[in-house]
Amino acid sequence: MAGLKPNDFHWIIEGKLAVSECIGGGGLTSRKIRREEEVQWLKSNGINSIFSLLETDFNLTNYQEVGFRTYHFPLGENPPVESITVIFEAIKEALSDKERKLLIHREYLDEEVPGILAGYLIYSKLLDDPIFSRTILERILGKPLSPKAIALIPTA
């Protein structure tokens, strides 16, 4: 398979919703060659949309130039519940297109991102048990969710 798999890449919903760290690597600057290799890998695996949770619009223009549809929802520290609900709704709307294969990323796969993904599974009614949603994400990512992540999972 062509290209380079992004760091911390995981399918959350096989063939539909994935997560990774920022394309090209985390930190203040991505590495162009690495970004190009990772973009090639994503495309060869069917990803056609990038959903950025970065606080800036870093690389969005680059993604658009190579054919990705982009979404940008800046996620700061300790986001309010209203912001998380807007993100859940935006993910749901993006995935309502059956052809869309979405990669969600932030600089790193930090505490909030797993909570948002587990929360989305509840919000979208793909799962109805917050504990099961948490367990699924922990198995996919191979690590426990932090209390900060767990707090982002809706209970109803």
Count Cα neighbours of 71 within 13 Å in the Cβ-side half-sphere: 23
Q: What is the assigned CATH class of domain 10-150?
A: alpha beta
pLDDT tens digits for range 85-119: 999 999 999 999 999 999 999 988 888 999 999 99
**Buried b vs exposed e over 18-55: b needs ≥16 C-beta within 10 Å?**
bbbbbbbbbeeebeeeebbbbbebbbebebebbbbbbe
pTM summary value: 0.92
Q: Where are the domains of the chain?
A: 10-150
- pLDDT band for 9, please (50, 70, 90 cuts): very high
- pLDDT band for 134, please (50, 70, 90 cuts): very high
Per cent of the chain over pLDDT 90 is: 74
pLDDT of residue 87: 96
pLDDT of residue 26: 64
